[in-house]
Amino acid sequence: MVEIWFCQPINLCRPHILGYISMNTILRCAIMFFEISKIKNQNYPNNYQLKNGIIFNCDSGWQRIEYKHYVIFFKGYILDNLKDQEFYESIVTDPTPKFKGNFFSIIAEETITVTNDNNRGSPLQYVQNEKITNLEQDLTPAWSDKYLTIDPALTVTENYFSPYTSTYENIDYNSALDQVDKILCDSFETFLSKNNKPLKVFLSGGIDTLLLYSYIKKFTTNFELVDYEYKKFTHFYLNNWHTKISKYWGYKQIHSWGDVPAVLLTGGCGDEYFLRGPAMLSVLAEHHQIDALALLEKNTQCYHHNYFTLEKNKQYFKNKKTFDTVSKKNTIDYILNNLINDHQHWHIDETICFTPFKNISIPGIILNLPKQNIIEQLLNGQFNKDLIIRNNPDDLRLLSTSKNHIRFENLIGNILKFDT
């Protein structure tokens, strides 16, 4: 019996691209690594022989399922309420991504289908008639509104689907908090109800891991608060770190326990999906005619001041956008389209990363907040803080004074305690 985790789906779709998405966006980090080719790649610990001389090369942690005349390879978790057999039947009948979570499914028969959740957490690239992978860079990208079918000659066909639905109706602040709170509570509750692996939580002192911490405590105390940094050297890690994995910034920030099953709860996508990342926040600021740099100059003690006034981040706010940001529809569609292709760290070997903030409906809600609430989010991440306050106001004492400034600043002596 394969272990698959499920919870409630959200119906989302995607408009066509408005503006250019840089390769730096899609190549930020890869997940649950694999390569489909006709070569047994020794850099992967597992090499499965499929039909027509095709080989599925992958890291550890994948599950192999025989269903009818298909072989299915699965890694990750699903957040929808259905039984294993229902899931298998659904993806072999119609592999269009429609389930929430963070996973890949490789469906192998005469042809091969590469499908995933409806908010894919990984880049996916290929060379026609040679290989399909999410580890290498500089190949042909399949954007996140595509899933792939592959014939015996390794000819790749991209299949379009709609990964989210845009809404453009204004929302009041408390209603937005209610909706995002429900999304996060549902994700935590259902994920934890299905999980049987050890839970590990790492706090940096930043607002994303602190928000994560405030939610996990609502549902369980059965987790390890990680007070160390750890990466287990495995076959896959050692053979790919210098040439490939190290190029993805996210894998410099996560922990992995190799072949020992574990769940790492991460704040991945927190900056971007809560509209606190400078690239997309600058688009929203321009739409609302907010002079972000002038505001930051007047509020030098705000949480984001030091981070947004770094020269590399100031450029986002200085540069005039090359498309129509007056239109609310254009602005929202552009931001959601970029976010759906912004991939963060994910599963490696037997370490599953639970990233509850990776839910495209969250920015869809925040984007419709009034201008004043966007200003408060820009300066202080107030939306995140108010979610923490709902869970446990006392947790805010653990928050660092400013973003990415002094790591562990207010954790020392409170959470991180050492024998003297």
Which pLDDT score, from 0 to 100, does residue 406 have?
73
Domain definitions of the chain by residue range: 23-160, 173-398
3-state helix, strand, coil in the chain (%, to 5): 35, 20, 50
CATH 3.60.20.10 matches 23-160: yes
Average pLDDT over residues 381-386: 98
| Fold (topology level) of 173-398 | Rossmann fold (3.40.50)
Which residues, in sequence order, are CB contacts of 355 under 8 Å at separation 6+? Answer: 102, 121, 266, 267, 268, 269, 344, 346
Which residues, in sequence order, are CB contacts of 353 under 8 Å at separation 6+? Answer: 102, 254, 263, 264, 265, 266, 268, 345, 346, 347
Taking only the tens place, the pLDDT of each residue in 332-348 is 999 999 999 988 766 88
Express as a percent the part of the chain with pLDDT over 70. 88
Burial class (CB in 10 A: 0-12, 13-18, 19+), 165: middle
pLDDT over 60 (residue 419): no
Region of poorest pLDDT, from 10-19, 63-72, 189-198, 288-297 = 10-19
Taking only the tens place, the pLDDT of each residue in 83-109 is 899 999 999 999 999 999 999 999 999
Region of poorest pLDDT, from 6-10, 389-393, 400-404 = 6-10
Express as a percent the part of the chain with pLDDT over 90. 71
Taking only the tens place, the pLDDT of each residue in 5-32 is 333 222 333 333 333 333 333 333 335 8
Which pLDDT score, from 0 to 100, does residue 247 have?
65
Number of neighbours of residue 89 by Cβ within 10 angstroms: 14
Number of neighbours of residue 152 by Cβ within 10 angstroms: 14
CB 173 within 8 A of CB 369: yes
Which pLDDT score, from 0 to 100, does residue 89 have?
97
In which element (H, E) is residue 270 found?
helix 270-273
Which residues, in sequence order, are CB contacts of 274 under 8 Å at separation 6+? Answer: 208, 357, 362, 363, 366, 377, 381, 383, 384
Answer with the residue of higher pLDDT: 52 or 22. 52
- pLDDT grade for 233, boundaries at 50, 70 and 90: confident
- pLDDT grade for 351, boundaries at 50, 70 and 90: confident
